[in-house]
Structure 1
């Protein structure tokens, strides 16, 4: 029996792996950080007995309440990821698996590989409707890539989509893939109208270093990028610095910053009600966007979400609030669950890569509902 994580986004430490009934593992912390929650590993075993995998250090993870009601995902082909029996027992995460083949992968959520990330960029470029813009490099020397979709022209709205500031929130890049698939479909009426009215500036992966390293929340320096937006630096947070500079040069009329939430089993958005410049126009745009998304998909809801910020008390180090204040525009954080959507549960797959992509597609309907009102 062998357990390994020596691959893209891999994360696990082996404590004990000589008995299928008692496999003991631990999740590694992000480099230079105390954050940890993401795991991704491969189990190779020729035993047909039930395998019991215990992740023993979840008690002190970044979001310990996130393990309640959570089910791990597994895959035999690294394409289809299904939920497996998972319980929180004596402050340990216990995964029970009945092997159908010698080799199986387990992960916190369906991984989005760096190879697929590069495929996504060049799929978009090959459409003839998108341009790849290289903004600079990360600390590990990877490209910070942005897609410009549509033809810039005077009067067109500038819509920004950023995803995966927190690398373990892989559903965010699945969301972007779904959005791009629809946006680049020349036979889709929503996409055609949007590209007549707007240009999309899309950063599918804000944190490629953390993604490849198997981090939950930070970059190669152990920095939480979504707390860097007021004063980023090339030394600590080049990813934010480079994207922020491009925003200042280009302008922003709307931002969706896409994330995943460990605790809440719902899809929701977090707005900018706490920024000092918040006004009736921003509130009207937020309401219009939410109402349109509610009509577009039953996967979205507005009952559950984060507590609203008090007036003037927003944390301006966060992307969506810094952008809202800097550009006086509609700016949302989009959150998806690691667990399942409690309103539409799926016992086999939970909230998944496929459902994340479909939400990305549906979100364009809500963007269309507000595009004429953005300026």
Structure 2
């Protein structure tokens, strides 16, 4: 029996793996950081029996409440990810599964590999409406890639989508894949209407280094990128610095920063009510977009989410707050669950890669509903 995580986005440390009934593991911390929660590993076993896998250090993880009612995902082919029996006992995460093949992968959520990321960029930029722009390099020397969809022209809105500032939140890049698939569909009326009046600037992965390293929340040197937006630097946070420079160059009329939430089992939006420039116009735009997304997707809801910031008290180091204040525009953090969407539960798959993609597609209908009012 062997357990390994020596692959793209892999993360696990083996404590003992000799008895199928008592496999003991631990999650490795992000480099130069105390954050940890993401795991991704492969089990190779000759044993035809139930396996009990105990991840022993989850009570000290970044979001221990996130393990309550959580079910791990598993896959035999790395394409179809399904939920497996999982229990959190307050100290350990206990995964119980009877493998149907000698090799099986387990993960915190359906992974989105760097190879998939490169494929997504390549396939998108082959479309004649799409341009691939390399903004610069990350600390590990990877490309910071931007997709520009549509023809810039006077009067067109500039709509920005960024995803996966926190690399373990892989549902964010699945969301972007669904959004891009629809946006680049020449026969889709919503996409064609949007590109008549807007240009999309899409960063599918804001944190490629952390993604490959198997991090939950930080870049190569342990920096949380979503706390860098006021004063980014090429030394600590080139990912934010490079994207922010491009934003300053072209402008922003609407911004969605796509994330995943460990604790809350719903899809929801966090607005920018606490930024100093927030006014009646921005409030009306927020309400319009929320209403449009409710209509566009039954996966969305407005009852559950984060507490609203008090006026003038927003944290401007956070991407959506900084963008809202800098450009006086509509800006949201969009959150999806690691668990299930309790509004529409699915016992076998929970919230999934496929549902994230469909939610991304549906979001374009809501963007179209407000695009004409962004200026």
Normalising by structure 2, we get a TM-score of: 1.00
- CA deviation string 1:199-255 (max 9, x = no partner): 000000000000000000000010000000000000000000000000001100000
Q: Tell me how far 1:126 sits from its aligned partner.
A: 1.2
Residue 187 of structure 2 aligns with which residue? 187
Residue 262 of structure 1 aligns with which residue? 262
Partners in 1 of 2:347 and 2:43 — Cα distance? 23
SS at match of 1:373: coil
Q: Tell me how far 1:169 sits from its aligned partner.
A: 0.1
Residue 357 of structure 2 aligns with which residue? 357
Partners in 1 of 2:59 and 2:69 — Cα distance? 15
SS at match of 1:25: strand
Partners in 1 of 2:76 and 2:351 — Cα distance? 19
Residue 316 of structure 2 aligns with which residue? 316
Residue 244 of structure 2 aligns with which residue? 244
Q: Tell me how far 1:91 sits from its aligned partner.
A: 1.1
Residue 101 of structure 1 aligns with which residue? 101
Partners in 1 of 2:17 and 2:128 — Cα distance? 50
Q: Tell me how far 1:89 sits from its aligned partner.
A: 1.9
- CA deviation string 1:247-299 (max 9, x = no partner): 00110000000000000000000000000000001000000000001001110
Residue 168 of structure 1 aligns with which residue? 168
Residue 136 of structure 1 aligns with which residue? 136
Residue 9 of structure 1 aligns with which residue? 9
What are the residue-to-residue correspondences of 1:56-135 with 2, within 5 Å?
56-135=56-135
- CA deviation string 1:112-169 (max 9, x = no partner): 0000000000111112210000000000000000000001111000000000000000
- State the aligned residue count: 375
Partners in 1 of 2:174 and 2:72 — Cα distance? 18
SS at match of 1:217: coil
Residue 341 of structure 1 aligns with which residue? 341
SS at match of 1:287: helix
Identify unmatched segments of 5+ residues in structure 1: none
SS at match of 2:372: helix
What are the residue-to-residue correspondences of 1:156-235 with 2, within 5 Å?
156-235=156-235
The question of whether the paired residues in 1 share the 8 Å contact of 2:59 and 2:90 is answered with: no
Q: Tell me how far 1:49 sits from its aligned partner.
A: 1.1
Partners in 2 of 1:116 and 1:150 — Cα distance? 23
SS at match of 1:244: helix
SS at match of 1:147: strand
Change (3 A) 1:90 1:283: closer
Partners in 1 of 2:89 and 2:337 — Cα distance? 22
SS at match of 2:229: coil
Partners in 1 of 2:86 and 2:225 — Cα distance? 31
Partners in 2 of 1:26 and 1:181 — Cα distance? 37
Q: Tell me how far 1:73 sits from its aligned partner.
A: 0.1
Q: Tell me how far 1:90 sits from its aligned partner.
A: 4.5
Residue 149 of structure 1 aligns with which residue? 149
Q: What is the RMSD of the two structures over their aligned residues, measured on CA atoms?
A: 0.4
SS at match of 2:132: strand
Partners in 2 of 1:48 and 1:324 — Cα distance? 55
Structure 1 residue runs of 4+, over 4 Å off? Answer: none
Partners in 2 of 1:128 and 1:163 — Cα distance? 23
SS at match of 1:134: strand
Identify unmatched segments of 5+ residues in structure 2: none
